[in-house]
Amino acid sequence: MRKNKGKTGLAICGAFALVIGCTAMFSGLAEAAAAVDMKGAEMIPTAYTLPAAPETSPVPEGYQKAAYTVVEDPLDYYKDKKPSEKDLSQEKAAEMGAQLLWKMFGVKLDGATIYMGYDPGTATFPRAFWSGDVRFGKSRTPGDTSYSFLIDAVTGEAFNASFGRTLNVTVDLGLDSGLEKNPSEYMKLAKAFAEKKNLVNGEVKECIYNSQGYGSNDPEITINVIGVNGQKAMITFSRYDQAVKGIGFNASMEIQEMMDKIMEQEAENWVHEGRAFGESEDLVVK
């Protein structure tokens, strides 16, 4: 999701954006991954505790497995990344992703192709994950209607789920200042959706405006949701027709917050080290 500038506060970009370092949050995993060169990325020391991953969830009520095809994602980014023995198989991960998309969007994947990519973790998202990019038909272009998911490679815990499309009408993609000042309509939608889908494991305590932007030619707005128990989620809606475009789940929010703190600490250390170096130079000159 490309974000519009405005007084949006701290705009949370979501787990997949952290993984690949992009600003396109809910515009389709393949499009975003193809647009970013991750060669030479360095892992930071993992001297911190990762959020605990729960056991895999049961099959959603009413779900029936669809007749879809699972293939390896041919993107160069995934070419040399292979799952370990402890990771879910590609087929199992694809099925868990299909269940997640059905639960969030009600979409059945009969006839679809799921392009699966594995990653052992990145510098900004230190959890191994499977990504799935769902397409209907033989084409795979940024303009296709698509569904995407990101799940923990070991447990299947959900990180992100998204829906991408290209509208057949021309819509203003700019910042809606009225919504920025009063996003209550979308806060109500976010609360209702979060409680219906049990995104925060209970009732919603608070909804917070995050940002506006667009995916393809579809204008979007993102709302953060906080549950009474402290769990968090992030929901992106189309500003065109209020369709749900993407969901960031509690696990990805926790990881992002953790990484934000680490990066802030690294930045502070860098500033302090720079000041100390400057002071030492002053002493030498004097």
pLDDT of residue 76: 96
Using alpha carbons, select from 252, 66, 81 the residue that is nearest to residue 152. Answer: 252
Instruction: Give per-10-residue mean pLDDT for the chain (286 aa).
Output: 46 38 36 38 40 62 94 96 97 98 97 98 92 94 94 97 97 96 98 98 98 96 98 98 98 91 87 68 56
pLDDT of residue 2: 59
Strands (E) across 14-145 are located at 69-72, 112-119, 129-136
Contact of 213 with 175, CB cutoff 8 Å: no
Beta bridge mates, 212: 221
pLDDT of residue 139: 84
Q: How far apart are CA 266 and CA 206, in angstroms?
A: 31
Strands (E) across the chain are located at 2-3, 69-72, 112-119, 129-136, 146-152, 158-164, 204-215, 218-227, 232-238, 244-248
pLDDT of residue 142: 87
Using alpha carbons, select from 249, 231, 251, 260 the residue that is nearest to residue 51. Answer: 251
pLDDT of residue 185: 98
Q: How far apart are CA 70 and CA 116, in angstroms?
A: 7
- Domains in the chain: boundaries: 2-178+246-285
Tell me the pTM: 0.78
Which long-range contacts (C-beta less than 8 Å, at least 24 apart) are formed by 60-67? 60/99, 60/102, 60/103, 63/99, 63/102, 63/103, 64/108, 65/95, 65/98, 66/98, 66/108, 66/109, 66/110, 66/112, 67/110, 67/111
The alpha helices in 163-241, defined as continuous H runs, are 177-181, 184-196
